[in-house]
Structure 1
Amino acid sequence: MIRTGAQYIDSIRDGREVYVGGERVRDVPSHPMFKPLVDIRARIYDMAHAPETCDVMTYREDGGGRAECHAIGNKLPLTQQDWWDKRRATDKVLETVGGIVTRVGDETVGEIWSLYDGQEVLNEVDPQFSANIRNHVDQVIKGDPFHVSANTDPKGDRSKKPQDQDPDMLLHVVRETDAGIVVRGAKYETAAAYANQAFTKPTIANWGDAALSDYAVGFICDLGSPGLKFICREGFAGRASPEDYPLANRFDEVDTLVVFDDVLIPWENLLFYRHTKAATFIRATLHRYSAFAFVQRNLRLADLMIGAALFNARQTGLEKQQAVQEKLSQLAVYREGINAHLTAAIALAERSPAGLLMPNQSLLYSGRVLACSQLHEMMHIARELCGGQVCVTPNKADFDNPATKPWLEKFYTINEDWVADDRRKLLAFARDLLNSDYAGHRLTFQLFAQSPPFNHLAAVYRSFDWDGPLAFAKDSAGLSDRVLGAKKEQSAKTAAE
């Protein structure tokens, strides 16, 4: 059954070893760097129980003769309606908390569904892995943990094999025991310090032609396990007043270097092990579901940029100028381009190997490229529309200081609709959205959060239907069928490689 926010908060008070700013954190839920996001995640849990939001956040299914309530975000997607429901639930969360949060579970749980699709490949390694995957899919639905993702290792010198340098640069198995495997290394994981579990999988290593590798391992990690150390980057919350940086103080999702110091992973939590073919397959299909929720965040980020820019244009009477309208239209085209890809990905959804319903892969991955590759340009357009006062406006304390307040009220009040306080709030919001350290961090995060740009394009290459354009061009050019056959063989060979 779905947990409450209080139950979630209690679950992360498990004595985990968390460090930030050179000090050990004694209580994660109350620490100022973590509390804003812990409170948001707790609120998401509570939204599943609140009468006004429970219908959007949950679904019911028969569980042994009685209807059980589960989170929409964790539901295996079988129909188009499932995807519309997931999209609606995510929108409700973002609208309720008043901003963008990415690593809160609905985006990362989709990676487990990719494993569900890969059972046939994993069965070639060990049939027990498929059983473990099905069990964990079921546990996520019924136990409703805060589930995150662990992708990236420190890596070290990527021109060398892992074995030719410090072996801990990539997470690896150091020994097997009757209880499970013991792993050592490190992973970067956003939100790990205040989550319950992580799907931990390999960065594709330089393992050459090796069929087996101790680095090709994937498992579910209980983030309260002995031997884990959480070394966090210092967050933006508390650096400056919430009035001046309203987003940084509420929505900064803290990233963590999770150190695995000989951590035991029980056999039942092991999802694949040693076979490089299995690891490569999983990496190639990892985002076939989770990319949807990730790109949806970019859509809502575009909404915030449009809103901030349009308010700034309207308050000063500039929205009627053609040059301003053109720039607003560019933001709108970017936003609607993302919206179109998400909508079409549902409308043209595809059956997965395990019978789930995937968003149309070519459209989804193309939408991700659009959303990420143009984000920096859209932020710059929004900066232009917001104007130079975004970067020169004094802080809230000066608006409150009796010595400076009259002057700031004079110069920041435009009319009876736009008084100084509202204008200051809008400029502070736009600054934090577009110009602050937090804004720069989010831009980099969006660029690399799922994978680097070349991998975004590689996913498009693997999912796009090349046969249609080839056949059309062949017929138009009057080419023989032989050339199309040769291209198909080459494409199949390239895909296999």
Structure 2
Amino acid sequence: MIRTGDEYRESIRDGREVWVDGERVKDVADHPMFKPIVDVRARIYDLAHAEATQDAMTYVDPDSGERNAVANKLPRTQQDWLDKRAAVDLVLDDTRGVVTRVGDETIGEMWSLFDGQDVLNEVDPRFSENIRRHLERSIREDPFHVSANTDPKGDRSKAPQDQDPDMLLHVVKETDNGIVVRGAKYETAAAYSNQAFTKPTIANWGNSELSDYAVGFVLDMGAPGLKYISRNGFAGRAPAADYPLANRVDEVESLVVFDDVEIPWEDVLFYRHTRAATFIRSTLHRYSAFPFVQRTLHLADLMIGSALWNVKQSGLEKQQAVQEKLAQLACYRETINAHLTAAISLAEPSPGGLLMPNQSLLYTGRVMALSQLPAMMHIARELCGGQICITPDAATFADPDVAPWLEKFYSINDNWVADDRRKLLAFARDLLNSDYAGHRLTFQLFAQSPPFAQLAAVYRNFDFDGPLGLVKAAAGLSDNVDGDAA
């Protein structure tokens, strides 16, 4: 049931209301700011059909005999995770850049809810059945699935009920068909996706057992009452020759407004149940953190490649100071790689019978990868040198009046001519120094929770009992000492 790229494009031509640059978008699949990233997602669908890549991107279901996407397969074995990792690597290599919100890194949040079916059954057994049905549908039909959990929030010193209640998405009424919700969410890729797992932002519900804000559901992105108010994209702002990444892999975020949107009962995953909401917040990235950290590994490779090509061009790769900085980048890259590899090798059974990456190793790997990213980007900038911020654009290099001078001063030898030098500097600038690069760095604070939440996940999943027991024995503490972790 794997879709083609063109079938995906047609699926988002459903009359949805998308706004960008002060105007309503007529065709999101063909709009200049959305088209490049829509084409990337379409390309992923087409890779599942291409003879050379089909086996890496898909598997044959033994029961139905149908080909399904590796990305959506429920992970039950280490090989499943190795296959998923290989598929993401293939996509990123083919894309020639890092794309984050293309589905494989968000479907895992649904797997976390699959693990919480006993919690869902406490409030209504229908909800547990809904999650199983939606996962089966995702496997079978391969929709472009994204995630929605960040609300505008408003004045955070106040409870939602003490200000405009729409600052957090909430249920306003029930109908025979389902629930009606009002509010807004920020979502990456929302304007060009098929469905979203929508859930609350709140992590601490206090003593509340019931709340209209404790709601989770699968959202049809073409549902009546939705409005997509998108940020201005980077694609098309400047020529692709000067900003290749911004024009190829920019992922547009949107404020998704829910103007009394009805959610059918069969799409509701939990409702008014704060324990279910707390569970999903605490386990949200149990699986999805893996492909997210894998993308940071790919970003590290792009930084190393850009820096190393630059020092090779300029003949500096033999200098010890340069080699030391390259080694720092390599250590950063391999530390991410080690966490990912170990998380699979020491994978753990989940409460729902799936196989989840080792949680302590996965979450500590995420913290390390993202907390060190700004420093690693700066090292890569140093190795690329100041020319990434002063080099003229491609049009100037092509101008006959000045081209000879640029050819003279940007050519290094017979192997490294001015055009290749310009291309490398333009790529490095867009990776490390452009508006797009700054946006992507800030995006890390949004995409997988802020640093404090990432550290909280580490705290919840690290085994403190081992160090406590070790010191208890080494220091000769009495048996009366409480050995439970804090």
Q: Distance in 1 between matches of 2:418 and 2:140?
A: 50
Deviations 1:28-52 (A, max 9, x none): 0110000001111111001101100
Q: Distance in 2 between matches of 1:152 and 1:401?
A: 47
Q: Aligned partner of 1:375: which letter?
A: L
Corresponding residue of 1:450: 448
Q: Distance in 1 between matches of 2:483 and 2:162?
A: 39
Name the SS of the counterpart of 1:149 in structure 2. Answer: strand
Native 8 Å contact 1:158 1:206 kept in 2: no
Q: What's the C-alpha RMSD, in Å, of the aligned pairs?
A: 0.9
Q: 1:219 aligns with which of 217, 220, 223?
A: 217
Corresponding residue of 2:384: 386
Corresponding residue of 1:295: 293
Q: CA deviation at 1:222?
A: 0.1
Q: 1:99 aligns with which of 91, 97, 100?
A: 97
Q: Distance in 1 between matches of 2:78 and 2:168?
A: 39
Native 8 Å contact 1:229 1:258 kept in 2: yes
Corresponding residue of 2:41: 41
Q: CA deviation at 1:76?
A: 0.1
Q: Which runs of 5+ in 1 are unaligned?
A: 492-497
Q: Distance in 1 between matches of 2:80 and 2:479?
A: 42
Corresponding residue of 1:372: 370
Corresponding residue of 2:115: 117
Corresponding residue of 1:3: 3
Corresponding residue of 1:133: 131
Native 8 Å contact 1:4 1:49 kept in 2: yes
Q: Aligned partner of 2:413: which letter?
A: N
Q: CA deviation at 1:447?
A: 2.9
Native 8 Å contact 1:162 1:206 kept in 2: no
Native 8 Å contact 2:211 2:273 kept in 1: yes
Q: 2:342 aligns with which of 324, 332, 344?
A: 344
Corresponding residue of 1:494: none
Name the SS of the counterpart of 1:145 in structure 2. Answer: coil
Please state if 1:478 is matched with 2:476.
yes
Q: Distance in 2 between matches of 1:377 and 1:401?
A: 37
Corresponding residue of 2:29: 29
Q: Which 10-residue stretch deviates more, 202-211 or 264-273?
A: 202-211
Name the SS of the counterpart of 2:185 in structure 1. Answer: strand
Native 8 Å contact 2:204 2:278 kept in 1: no
Q: Distance in 1 between matches of 2:429 and 2:49?
A: 35
Q: Distance in 2 between matches of 1:240 and 1:69?
A: 40
Q: Which runs of 5+ in 2 are unaligned?
A: none
Corresponding residue of 2:59: 59
Aligned length: 486
Q: CA deviation at 1:158?
A: 1.0
Q: Distance in 1 between matches of 2:479 and 2:188?
A: 51
Q: Which 10-residue stretch deviates more, 272-281 or 184-193?
A: 272-281
Corresponding residue of 1:432: 430
Name the SS of the counterpart of 1:231 in structure 2. Answer: strand
Corresponding residue of 1:174: 172
Q: Distance in 2 between matches of 1:47 and 1:349?
A: 28
Q: CA deviation at 1:127?
A: 1.2
Deviations 1:165-184 (A, max 9, x none): 00000000000000000000
Corresponding residue of 2:439: 441
Deviations 1:307-364 (A, max 9, x none): 0000011111111111101100000000000000000000000000011000000000
Q: Aligned partner of 1:49: which letter?
A: H
Q: How does 1:274-423 map to 2 (within 5 A)?
A: 274-423=272-421
Deviations 1:260-282 (A, max 9, x none): 00000000000011111110111
Q: Aligned partner of 1:354: which letter?
A: G
Q: How does 1:152-191 map to 2 (within 5 A)?
A: 152-191=150-189
TM-score (norm. length: structure 2): 0.99
- Identity, % of aligned positions: 75
Q: CA deviation at 1:205?
A: 6.2
Q: Distance in 1 between matches of 2:483 and 2:126?
A: 39
Q: Aligned partner of 1:299: which letter?
A: L
Q: CA deviation at 1:206?
A: 6.2
Q: Distance in 2 between matches of 1:309 and 1:466?
A: 39
Corresponding residue of 1:229: 227
Native 8 Å contact 1:161 1:205 kept in 2: no
Please state if 1:467 is matched with 2:465.
yes
